[in-house]
Structure 1
């Protein structure tokens, strides 16, 4: 995998969307065809001659992923295994697969693609209007329902194979989606507000007695230590995060830790953003504007009323947490074996965006 997802796996399958062999689908293979197909007059002409081009889907659907997963699960395994399935359905472009492929729906999907080019060009800051906004939200809901059905298919298969009682399941997401709550769409321009950074984490422990809902904020760096704990494997000393077994077993942390989220530039959208959740507050540092925001979560769960003030005691405390965190991050990069650092450390530090943006967040760079 070009993204490194296959690292340290014994078996890895990068599932690609099935490419059909119809004349319309082969047209997509021609370089530059996408630009032509975005023109309605071109699509009308192709329809007249019997070609009915559908908008391309960049990833395979959840059912295809689960099909591959089930093929692997049903093989003979002489020892416990770890299986990771990565789904892309709840992701732009939203396209509910169960919708009838009528002519009007096809045109609506093509219009979605056209508008999305505008969204990207404006770095998420584009209002498509109420009708189109309602459509995108409804498509997302429909995709969510489809994902739920797909998970049910996977769990039913485990149950039928009598493996359910011996299987731990962890379900989470790498990000949420923004629906213009704070002026941007999707997630490429994630402002680290609730809608983009608050994601589900569901852990089903094998043979667990009763379901339990935990309202404490935890971090995704805690997932790997938790999986190791469930498997009875000791966490490596260098691994970040802590096992969440205390939550699964009904115990409470004596002192909840600050939870950090970071985002580096994505598609030239942002420089650096950092959020910290701790002690009932949510703090966001925006590297694009070099400014900070603070929200009291109980009174302002949607993060609308910014109460940050640099002379306020709570604001200063979060400023200190941020500076300490980014300073630690720079030190970790310097001490790592990351090839980006290399032999000529001063030259590479100037070139490494991870270091540059952390130094800017510390105030050392303009």
Structure 2
């Protein structure tokens, strides 16, 4: 929208660079171009402002496919007015000289023209396409058909309008149909998920079985080695017992041999000692056989005295002393056989 300022009965217009302004005064074109700024009189001026920038027109409409299914089309058309003079001549782009506001609604007319043209071509292509194909490849087909239709539409160049681009955002069926169409895909996805779950469980079971088999194999191997260990321990114990028995036998044999040798040595020593004692006894007897009885008695008393215990004191009664003196004074006594006198 142009910026118009009033000063002392004059008006000053200042337009944006994206707006093409046409100023007629008394039927003659005075100013024509984008981004103009000039003074004018409101009573003699006829002003038109045509936007020349790219504009986006969003449209949404319903169509019917070949299998009688309702489908909504969401598209966007980018256009611009390439011929401002032509557009100003065909459409009402005149502005109020006091406010700079359009007197009519030219952009709405352009939007209606583009929407109806695009909708006509979209309906034409979707009416011969089934719903499944439209949802799969319909976006490209509808976009191409709308682009070709708008390019070939004669009213657009005649109005000074140029179509820059066409974009089809979405083709959507009714909510119930969309949910029904999603069901097979969801079921397939669920089946794939279930299959993945079953495969994962199968793999887990297989791994658990492998682990159990490994544990069982480990236990069997451990039991086998324990059996070998027990057998080896038995063999070692038996060998140790045999070695101990052999050592005991050798030790017993050596002990018996030593005992026999000791017995023989003791017997030999005893025999030699007996022979020595017998020789000494025989010699002693031979020596005493030549000695008289008095000497033998004296030797006997001496030996008896040697073997008697220690006597600290001796008490002799008269009877004992009389008898002893009688024996000493008798025949064979030390006094030569004279009787002792009282």
TM-score normalised by structure 1 residue count:
0.19
Structure having greater relative contact order (Cα 8 Å, sep ≥ 6) = 2
Structure in which a larger fraction of residues adopt helix: 2
TM-score (norm 2): 0.20
* Structure of higher CA gyration radius: 2
